[in-house]
Amino acid sequence: MPGNKIDGNIAAGGIYIIPLRKERIDDIYAIEKECFTDPWKKEIFLELLDYPYAVNIAAAEIEIETGIGAEETEKTEKIAGYCIFYHIWEECQIMNIAVKKSMQNKKIATKLLSAVLEYAEAENISKIILEVRRSNAKAIALYKKFGFEIDGVRENYYKRPKEDALLMSLQM
């Protein structure tokens, strides 16, 4: 089954898509709590790092400062968002995608979703599926922009607050 083939080389507009690693979990968890009314527990993110079907990526602003000597450099990563998706057989399921509120409206979710689609294409994925809150108009518009279609509704899927989920998919 899949390995995490995201290697940190996808860059656009100063944002790099990088593998999500353990040392970034606190940043990811802070974004999760900021963006969702029913956030995942921190332990779930840690478990997903070792889950063989999970692909865990982050969007980061990376600043490199060069010191006086050519070898004196310092790299700083500021996590702006993340995406977790499962790759099982020929299908991907987007589980979570979130962007720090102060970094929203900067096309970061677009970059994360583009990375998922690039991965899917490289891995010969035939379909990508997801659930999204019916009220999340911005996310729905983004998914539709990428060609996702609404396939159905899961009634009362979300609990805090209670809300339906739209089922969406993209045939590759």
Active site residues: 131, 143
Helices (H), 4-136: 25-35, 42-48, 108-122
Taking Cα atoms as reference points, which of 143, 119, 129 lies closest to residue 6? 119
Bridge partners (DSSP) listed for residue 135: none
* CB environment 132-161: b (16+ within 10 A), e (fewer): bbbeeeebbebbeeeebeeeeeeeebbeee
Q: Are 82 and 31 in contact (CB under 8 A)?
A: yes
- Closest to 167 (Cα-Cα) out of 145, 147, 150, 146: 150
* CA separation for the pair 155, 134 (Å, rounded): 10
Adjacent-strand bridge partners of 76: 63
